[in-house]
Homo-oligomer: A and B are copies of this chain.
Amino acid sequence: MPVAELLPVIDVTACCAPLTRETIEPSNAEDLAHSLKALADPARLRLISMVASHEGAEACVCDLTEPLGLSQPTVSHHLKVLVDAGFLSRDKRGVWAYYSLVPGALDSVAHLLATV
């Protein structure tokens, strides 16, 4: 497993100043790039958006597969990427796996990008 898998967003954000404040360190650039890569996919952006606006602010795979128009394994794959990156959390209750937003994760990345 790549090292980056062990560095979710919260750790990235605690490390350094916003991108344009000072020259970013190569290792920090690598971490931030890893977080952004997790977001830089249409299906994953839609998943985050769908989970956030779903009732109860959580959703199971069965809620997401059909509206997304992708196969169940593909949806599970994307969700895993988002969980590993620290943007979503997974809560298995019975047969279902419920995904919800990790509070502050998106804001951390947004803060690193913002110039003001």
Contacts and interface: CB of A to CB of B under 8 A. Distances in A.
A74 interface: no
A46 interface: yes
A63 to B, nearest CB: 12
Nearest to A38: B40
A11 B20 CA distance: 22
Given A106-B114, A111-B110, A116-B107, A24 B49 contact: yes
B20 A42 contact: no
Contact of A49 (B23, B30, B39, B41): B23
Interface string A17-58: 001111110100110110011011111111011101100000
Residues of A contacting B: mostly: helix
A61 to B, nearest CB: 17
In this complex, the interface size class of chain A, counting residues with CB under 8 Å from chain B, is: 35 or more
A45 B23 contact: no
A42 B30 CA distance: 5
Contacts of A113: 39, 106-107, 109-110, 113
Given A22-B53, A29-B43, A33-B45, 7 more contacts: A19-B52, A19-B106, A23-B53, A30-B42, A33-B44, A101-B115, A107-B115
